[in-house]
Chains A and B, each alone.
Chain A
C-alpha cells in the first residue's frame, strides 16, 4: 500500500482524471474533496458495507431459519429475565 503524507490544500492524483484534495485537517478529522468523473462511484466504505449487508439480509432469511431464530431469541430473553 502506498502511504503519502499531505498537508491541507495539497492533493493526490489517481490515474488521469481523479484528484483527491485534503481540504481541512482538525484533530482526528480530515475533510477531503474528490474530483472524479461522474461514472466513477465514490462512497464512504461504511455505506458500501451497509449496502452489502442489506442485500445479504434481504435474501437469507427463509421461513425455517427465521422460526429458529425467533425461538433462539426467545430463549435468550428468558435467560436474561431469570438473571
Chain B
C-alpha cells in the first residue's frame, strides 16, 4: 500500500496492522488510520502514528505497566461498539504528553484509547462515573 508519511517511508505496513478509528480522535477527527510503533526493549511505551501524515503522532503507554489499580470501566454501550465478546480482546492505551521537562509528563486517565485486538477497531472513550484525571502527573504522583 502507498504511505504518504516521511517517517513511515521505509516501514513495511501490513493492511492488517492498521488501527482504524472510525471517528478519528478528539481534535483529529480527519485522521482515522494509525499504526502502533513499538520497540522490543520497551514494549510499554509506544508511538501511535498516523499513516496519512507525519502528524498526528502520539506517545502512548500501557497503563498497567505504570499505574497500579487502573481499572477503566466501559459501559455496555461502549462494549457494544466493539461488537466484542471477550473483554480480554480489548487493549488499553493512554495518550501521554511528553514535554521537555520530563517531570511534567502527564497521561490522560479519563480518556483511554481502546483497541479491539482482533479487529483493530479503535476509539478514544471518555469514561463516565470515574474521578480519573485528564492530566495525571506520571512521575510525581507515583508512589
A interface list, Cβ under 8 A from B: 44, 46-47, 49-61, 65-66, 68-70, 72-74, 76-77
Contact = CB atoms under 8 A, between A and B. Distances in A.
Contacts, number: 90
Contacts of A74: 41-42
Q: Do most interface residues of chain A lie in helix, strand or loop, or is the interface mixed?
A: helix
Contacts of A65: 98-100, 102
A-B pairs, 10 with minimum CB distance: A58-B56, A51-B27, A51-B26, A54-B27, A50-B111, A61-B98, A57-B97, A69-B98, A55-B27, A49-B134
Nearest to B24: A54
Interface of B: 25-28, 39, 41-42, 44-45, 47, 55-59, 61, 65-66, 95-100, 102, 105-106, 108, 110-111, 124, 126, 134-135, 139, 142
Contacts of B65: 77
Given A57-B96, A61-B98, A77-B44, A50 B134 contact: yes
A60 B100 CA distance: 8
Nearest to A52: B27
